[in-house]
Structure 1
């Protein structure tokens, strides 16, 4: 399944659910609060900005926000709510696309780094974040913890949510570290709809090594945006990585000389 098959116009039009799901105030509020605190008086760059779920309220808090997004359909939905003068967006891949300037904060929320399906691409995402940051700048990632402890031998699927009208389950390929998320919705009749997407899962320790390869140091890891302690039972984490202050850009951080640049005016 190609990425543009998942993030197409149909998905983009139904992505926003104001007040519920990802857009619920109890989830979105702490996210924006924490990111605004980390950005301070500096600028923020969102990788995979989508329809602006986080970027728009963060901008309304007075933070200058730009974005990178690979889906034209998602950008089109964002443009209904905010024009390019408010939130400039470059169309491209978050692992390679560059935008002008330097930032105090780069952030990547709601498991989105897992949309990059190889370890190499995920490492390049860290390097791309480093290229955009000022010395001392931060890269923040929100990511789920793989639930392989729930998999008995020979079983490949985990039901992670079940409620009236909805079942969410993941099927794992532990060799490739790929997981396919299935979202099944149904009513009172016999019909159901299914949407699926493929991801590469990352263990927290592996994520930390990726960060080191790009010149980052782990500054903080919490279980959520409110700062709850991260434990062995946490199902997700918010990890904050920081570049050294006044540090020299290393070849690892610099990445390929020919990294493509895209205008931030879509």
Structure 2
């Protein structure tokens, strides 16, 4: 009984510490209603990683009538080779991929700065699920972290995209829309890449697989402004050990072994 009471008090203290920091963080960094604005534009992976005998892929994200829905066009060698929708409304959609069936959905974090993506279904008859995170780095890069579990195995993939010039082969209406919203896009992108707070990490850990949250932190693409007291509160509130250790590693890389977890790979491709 005493042990249970002590645990309850510790959790209450953790909740109080996290709640105390929430108003300040929300006031500084929330981007309510901006939707996918920060992601508008054309993006490419690091060209150093591209095959010498293949033209690089360029992914262009263009606006629609809804701020939470965007058109995604993939171009290669001046041709459009892929089209899809990015829907951040939280609605479930059927997966459109060869030999895969299931549903996929994406929803915003409480402050609108991170997009949580989940899917479940099967591919080639093997049950699978994904857990992912889209964020903007402090430098304006797009970081895409995705974990996949299938047939008893699991892995995490990290892709980093950098903005590139709009290809001339992009439809004229899409080019015009991107030009018209360029200032809004730059402004929201800066806000989306603001420092990450304790309650942001806890929200992500409660929404996504811990391996995905760990990979996001270890990429160190964003600043994590979390004090030792807040980290202790996070652990008390149930933060997975591997996520807490990743935060420690990001804060003091010389004091931790930064070896990636088993199954973790960092990629520069879509």
TM-score (normalizing by structure 2): 0.29
Q: Higher helix proportion, which one?
A: 2
Larger radius of gyration: 2
TM-score (normalizing by structure 1): 0.29
